[in-house]
Amino acid sequence: MRAMQVTELGQPLALRDIAKPVAGGGQVVVKVHTCGLNFGDLLIIKGTYQEKPQLPFTLGMELCGTVTEVGEGVSRLKVGQRIAAYCGFDALAEYAAISADVCVAIPDEMSDEHAAAFLIAYGTSHVALDYKAHLKPGERLLVLGASGGVGLTAVELGKLIGAEVIAVARGAEKLAVAQSMGADHLIDSDTDDIRAVVKSLGGADVVYDPIGGAQFKAALRACRPEARLIPLGFASGEVPQIPANHLLVKNLTVIGFYWGGYTRVNPKVLTDSFEVLTKWYVEGKIKPHVSNVLPLAQANEALDLLRTRKATGKVVVRIE
């Protein structure tokens, strides 16, 4: 089968012919239809992600596909069943052998492209805002990186929860996408003073931050007393150092959050979240924004859309 593999850290993926996998105990083999790309994929290629698989390996954290083989001990999934999965690796291939525990059934109403764009982006934002930050209707939510894969879902879900949403993104085109998802206020990170604008609006109750760096520092200083800050990524390349005296004076709370970690420490958090999100999708309350769909052979070009920040929402690779 064909797979897009990392053969050397920091280098483009190589399209290779490798052996088709077989299902081990507790696994299923999935014929992959689509793979959703994530910022974490770029970190994996560089070798700076939390998990570092042995070279060579197949890239791709999340997929949509159809079960073609069921391994020993698996009773929940059946051959022919359509699923989405957060697998961490192996999704940029024609077939993938993955743990049955990371697979979820998807409704017929959900397209392959939406299914591959759903789990990580919506799951991250929903668990962060609802389970971790306890965002309430009427609160003011500041979303940094608001046009990206996770940021755009934070805007959409924050508005659905009933918050007043401030979206920060780069340029009028990306801000327009955030506005289309429900943002009440727009801040251009290239030209506007984030701290000044947010303070003029009354300050932030919750800060959702996949960016880090200078934007986190500005957001910290624009928080209202008892605000909650959620650092969940560092797309700027700078991990901010948090001055404890600022936390003390305003009674602020910084909430560490890694969505993928819940697959090990408390998977029920994720399954409960996905149940809610799927219901909202079927009811038409949420809809993934997929800006680009490319074929498997163009996975490097698809990754470049993330790397150069030319994409909005999600980039999906279709396995032809």
127 and 113 part of one domain: no
Which pLDDT value is given to residue 154? 98
State pTM to two decimals: 0.91
90 and 8 part of one domain: yes
**Residues 211 and 235 sit within 8 Å (Cβ to Cβ):** yes
100 and 144 part of one domain: no
Confidence of residue 118 (pLDDT cuts 50, 70, 90): very high
pLDDT at residue 49 tops 90: no
Domain, as residue range, for 162? 123-259
9 and 52 part of one domain: yes
pLDDT digits (tens, 9 = 90+) for 248-292: 999 999 999 999 888 888 888 988 999 999 999 999 999 999 999
Residue 278 lies in a domain: no
208 and 161 part of one domain: yes
96 and 213 part of one domain: no
Which pLDDT value is given to residue 264? 84
111 and 85 part of one domain: yes
- The CATH number of whichever domain residue 145 belongs to comes to 3.90.180.10
Taking CA atoms, 141 is separated from 154, 160, 182, 216, in Å, by: 9, 12, 12, 14
* Range 63-82 burial, b when 16+ CB lie within 10 A, else e: bbbebebbbeebeebeeebb
201 and 302 part of one domain: no
Q: What's the mean per-residue pLDDT of the chain?
A: 95
**Residues 206 and 125 sit within 8 Å (Cβ to Cβ):** no
Residue 279 lies in a domain: no
